[in-house]
Chains A and B, each alone.
Chain A
């Protein structure tokens, strides 16, 4: 059965991701079985479900594939995503921001820079705690990091000294890490448990 061209591309990506994985056949087989069940009612719905499941499974399995299996494709995908987050998208944000801002003093620029980075970290920490529950938050996390890194580029564009750049990169890492830690502890929500909706066991 054919689930559409997009599904085929996604399936190839997943199959490549799971190349050396002992669960490979089981995961691909489960996807196929689920889509086959849905295809009895609607092939369109089956195709949609299949595509969605493959993409969501890639997102769920990517980190472990990169770390555990040392899978080159997964590693490259994570690397490209981080690169896009921290450099490419953020540089677009930086250009957009710096074109609209008047030139502030150095101290004010640094203060604003730190504030944005910490705030981005706090937001990222909050979102990280919820990413598993709300898939849209993943996109928001991407945006927040891009925003933080955008501020980083605004400061970066004022000076090209190596010492300045190194200090700034260190500061960026520490500030976003601290912010993220705060975000995760401040906004940690109580864990939901299915039995809490009904009577205790």
Chain B
């Protein structure tokens, strides 16, 4: 199995998939990732991250029925697993602690 820690983009994608809930599919996740990071990620880059997250068992996915708006193609929805939510909390706590330490270090100067 792949390494189970989160990369930068993986963390953002997992957080956004978690926030979007039942509407978390590729295009919607990409839209929010671009809005949050102000960087233009390609659809392929987002799916690469989604695939890695699924390999790490942090996400699971299912396909919808084919939709006319998508040229008769289906959507794949992504749902964070319990392990994914736990990893997301752990990563967020780590970042929060990091920022707190930085803030404290700034104040003591």
Binding site for B on A (CB under 8 A): 1, 23, 25-34, 36, 53, 56-61, 64, 132-133, 191, 193-195, 200-201
CB < 8 Å neighbour of B43 from A25, A57, A132? A57
CA separation between A26 and B73, bound complex, in Å?
Answer: 7
Q: Please name all residues of chain B whose beta carbon is closer than 8 Å to the beta carbon of A133 when the two chains form the complex.
A: 39
Contact status A26-B74, CB under 8 Å? yes
Q: Please name all residues of chain A whose beta carbon is closer than 8 Å to the beta carbon of B69 when the two chains form the complex.
A: 33, 36
Contact status B43-A34, CB under 8 Å? yes
Known: A34-B27, A201-B95. A29 touches B42 (CB 8 A): no
CB < 8 Å neighbour of A57 from B25, B44, B92, B103? B44
Known: A32-B70, A191-B8, A200-B96. A27 touches B47 (CB 8 A): yes
| 11 more A-B residue pairs beyond the given contacts A57-B42, A193-B8, with a C-beta to C-beta distance below 8 A | A25-B63, A27-B47, A32-B73, A53-B43, A57-B43, A59-B42, A61-B47, A61-B48, A193-B95, A194-B12, A201-B99
- Nearest to B49 among chain A residues (CB) is A60
CA separation between A32 and B36, bound complex, in Å?
Answer: 23
CB < 8 Å neighbour of A29 from B44, B50, B71, B100? B71
Q: List 15 A-B contacts (CB under 8 A).
A: A23-B47, A26-B76, A29-B70, A29-B75, A30-B75, A32-B71, A53-B43, A60-B48, A64-B51, A132-B45, A191-B8, A194-B12, A194-B36, A201-B92, A201-B95
